[in-house]
Amino acid sequence: MSYPGNVADFGRRIIDNVDRVIVGKRDVSELVLVALLCEGHVLLE
C-alpha cells in the first residue's frame, strides 16, 4: 500500500530532477506533473 508521504516524496524527487534541466520554472514543473498524474493534457510553448 502506498502512503501519502511516500507519494509526496516521489513527486518531490521528480520535480527536483526536472529542475536540474529546466531551471527557474519549478511552479510550471509542478503544474505539469499534476496534470500528467491526473491524466490531463498539457500544452507547452
Q: Where are the domains of the chain?
A: 4-37
Identity of residue 15: I
> Is it the case that residue 13 has pLDDT exceeding 80?
yes
Whole-model pTM: value is: 0.70
Largest Cα–Cα separation, the chain: 37
> Is it the case that residue 45 has pLDDT exceeding 90?
no
**Surface-to-core class of residue 44, CB atoms within 10 Å of its CB (0-12 exposed, 13-18 middle, 19+ buried):** exposed
Q: How many CA atoms lie within 13 A of 19 on its CB side?
A: 13
Position with higher pLDDT, 2 vs 8: 8
Identity of residue 19: D
pLDDT digits (tens, 9 = 90+) for 28-41: 999 999 999 898 88
